[in-house]
Amino acid sequence: MDEEPERAKRWEGGYERTWEVLKEDEFGSLKATVEEILFQSKRKRALESHGQVRLGMMRHLYVVIDSSRTMEDMDLRPNRLKATLKLMEAFVEEYFDQNPISQVGLITTKNKRAEKLTELAGNPKKHLAALKKARDAACVGEPSLYNSLNLAMQTLKHMPGHTSREIVVIFSSLTTCDPANIYELIKTLKSLKIRVSVIGLSAEVRVCTVLTRETGGTYHVCLDESHFKELLMFHVKPPPANAQSECSLIRMGFPQHTIASMCDQDSKPSFSMSHLDSTSEVGLSLGGYFCPQCHAKHTELPVECKICGLTLVSAPHLARSFHHLFPLEAFRETPLEELPADRFCHACQGKLKDKIVFTCPFCSGVFCTECDLFIHDSLHCCPSCINSQHSN
């Protein structure tokens, strides 16, 4: 990563060093500084999320991006807005990678107003385009937390009960300009079971603390770009499903991709549903996904059928989302000394150096810290378990 040297060059670097001096206090007891606490909490977070909890599989998430005057602050490079949008692009891609049958929408707030950038949709392309476009927008005025939450709520409250309703606010300003009492809105959000999480870019603001505490979300303030990214990526993983959330059977269509060749007499070029509202390209094509119910044609999956409203997915999508239902159990922490002579990580085959290693409770495979994180964050299955299954 080229971020590291860049960080050292920054002129604020000097201040960060003064902080490090504070660590070496003459009282041994004062040693645990914020960074240590941070590391601890990171580990905790990993542990907590790996409990046997059912995670929401279908998510509806609105991301509110503060575009107020304070987003021009240069403490994130090149400024807060650009850094946020760049990370958001990565987030959107990652989000759909991990939650293929979920939807996302974008809202920006500035000048005391809130404005929908994109509607809730399951297609990353539109969001990415909107994010690109937002780069040139000016940052003016104050944000309005109330308006943006209200806007998101208007859509989210109509979402079916078996899906999760979430809002993530990226909040840079320290003030909010609200037309009404925000505590009333928080109550409403709570009753609608909408979970609001906030990522602060500058400091802890009281109203956000209350908001997240009441609605069951998380509240974090970023330290720098890499921490920001970490915090944002934390929201890729679905939150634990609400215990009272409804269970319902949903109809889903699994359309097959039909590839028609020109020589086939029966095939006629037709418009795809997703091209109906985009004027830019001419959408006549031969092949596509045909809705098993109404035979409307779609070019991409997953999508909700424009005609009959059936959810159209492909089997692999469902499988990818499936692991949220059965999360991988957390590995046991064991000190290195307890291990026999063979001290290699079963995943990366590297020599185990850390004092603490992780053991899979089923196959007793031993992993290093990095691999543990990778397995739990991205892989969602224990490689050594699968290996032994195969050999059997």
Partner 1 sequence: MKLNIEGLLVYFPYDYIYPEQYSYMLELKRTLDAKGHGVLEMPSGTGKTISLLSLILAYQKAYPLEITKLIYCSRTVPEIEKVVEELRKLIEFHCKETGEANNFLALALSSRKNLCIHPEVSALRIGKEVDGKCHSLTASYIRAQRLSDPSLPSCRFYEGFDAIGRQVPLPPGVYNLDDLKEFGQKKGWCPYFLARQAILHANIVVYSYHYLLDPKIADLVSKELTKKAVVVFDEAHNIDNVCIDSMSVNITRRTLDRCTSNVETLQTTIQRIKETDAAKLKEEYRRLVEGLKEANVARVTDVYLGNPVLPAEVLQEAVPGSIRTAEHFVGFLKRFLEYLKSRLRVHHVVQESAPQFLKDIFQKVCIDRKPLRFCAERLRSLLRTLEISDLTDFSAITLISNFATLVSTYSQGFTIIIEPFEDRTPSIANPVLHFSCMDPSIAIKPVFERFQSVIITSGTLSPLDIYPKILDFRPVTVASFTMTLARTCLCPLIVGRGNDQVALSSKFETREDFAVIRNYGNLLLEMSGVVPDGIVAFFTSYMYMENIVASWYEQGILENIQRNKLIFIETPDAAETSMALEKYQEACENGRGAILLSVARGKVSEGIDFVHHFGRAVIMFGVPYVYTQSRILKARLEYLRDQFQIRENDFLTFDAMRHAAQCVGRVIRGKTDYGLMIFADKRYARADKRGKLPRWIQEHISDGSLNLTVDETVQMSKHFLRQMAQPFRQEDQLGLSLLTIEQLESEEMLKKISQMAHQA
Cβ 40 to partner 1 shortest distance, Å: 7
Nearer Cβ to partner 1, position 208 or 366? Answer: 208
Sequence-ordered list of residues with C-beta below 8 angstroms from that of 364, at least 6 positions apart, any chain: none
Contact predicate 173/69, CB 8 Å: yes
Nearer Cβ to partner 1, position 204 or 333? Answer: 204
Q: Is 175 in the site for partner 1 (CB under 8 A)?
A: yes
Left (φ > 0), alpha (ψ -120 to 50) or beta: where does 130 sit? alpha
Q: What distance in Å separates the CA atoms of residue 227 and residue 75, rounded to the nearest whole number?
A: 13
Taking residues 181 to 200 in sequence order and writing x for each that binds partner 1 by CB under 8 A, - otherwise, the string is xxx----------------x
Q: What distance in Å separates the CA atoms of residue 384 and residue 366, rounded to the nearest whole number?
A: 9
Single residue of 207, 233, 318, 363 touching partner 1 by CB under 8 A? 207
In angstroms, how far is the first alpha carbon of the chain from the final one? 41
Nearer Cβ to partner 1, position 232 or 347? Answer: 232
Contact range with partner 1 by CB under 8 A, out of 93-101, 128-136, 204-212, 381-389: 204-212
- Joined together, the tokens standing for residue 265 give 């007499």
Q: Which class for 64: exposed (0-12), middle (13-18), buried (19 or more C-beta within 10 A)? A: buried
Task: Tell me: cis bond preceding 302? Omega within 30 of 0 counts.
Answer: yes
Nearer Cβ to partner 1, position 34 or 307? Answer: 34
Taking residues 67 to 96 in sequence order and writing x for each that binds partner 1 by CB under 8 A, - otherwise, the string is ---x----x---------------------
Segment holding 7, helix H or strand E = helix 3-9
Greatest CA separation found in the chain? 86
Q: Which amino acid is at 353?
A: K
Cβ 207 to partner 1 shortest distance, Å: 3
Q: Is 107 in the site for partner 1 (CB under 8 A)?
A: no
Counting residues that bind partner 1 (by CB under 8 A) gives 43
Nearer Cβ to partner 1, position 27 or 281? Answer: 27
Q: Is 177 in the site for partner 1 (CB under 8 A)?
A: yes
Three-state DSSP class for 345?
coil
**Residue 242: which of 216, 209, 211 has the closest Cα?**
216
- Joined together, the tokens standing for residue 204 give 């802890």
Contact range with partner 1 by CB under 8 A, out of 35-43, 81-89, 312-320, 360-368: 35-43
Q: Is 32 in the site for partner 1 (CB under 8 A)?
A: yes
Cβ 26 to partner 1 shortest distance, Å: 9
Single residue of 21, 249, 263, 282 touching partner 1 by CB under 8 A? 21
Nearer Cβ to partner 1, position 220 or 297? Answer: 220
Q: Is 265 in the site for partner 1 (CB under 8 A)?
A: no
Q: Which amino acid is at 51?
A: G
Q: Is 46 in the site for partner 1 (CB under 8 A)?
A: no
**Residue 306: which of 317, 295, 315 has the closest Cα?**
295
> How far are the Cα atoms of 213, 253, 347, 392 from residue 379, in angstroms, in the given order?
31, 27, 11, 22
Cβ 60 to partner 1 shortest distance, Å: 25
Cβ 28 to partner 1 shortest distance, Å: 8
Q: Is 233 in the site for partner 1 (CB under 8 A)?
A: no
Q: Is 204 in the site for partner 1 (CB under 8 A)?
A: yes
Helices (DSSP H) in 250-289: which residue ranges?
Answer: none
Helix count and strand count (H, E) for the chain: 12, 17
- Chain residues binding partner 1 by CB under 8 A are 12, 15-16, 18-19, 21-22, 27-30, 32-34, 37-38, 40-41, 70, 75, 142, 145, 174-178, 181-183, 200, 202-209, 220-223
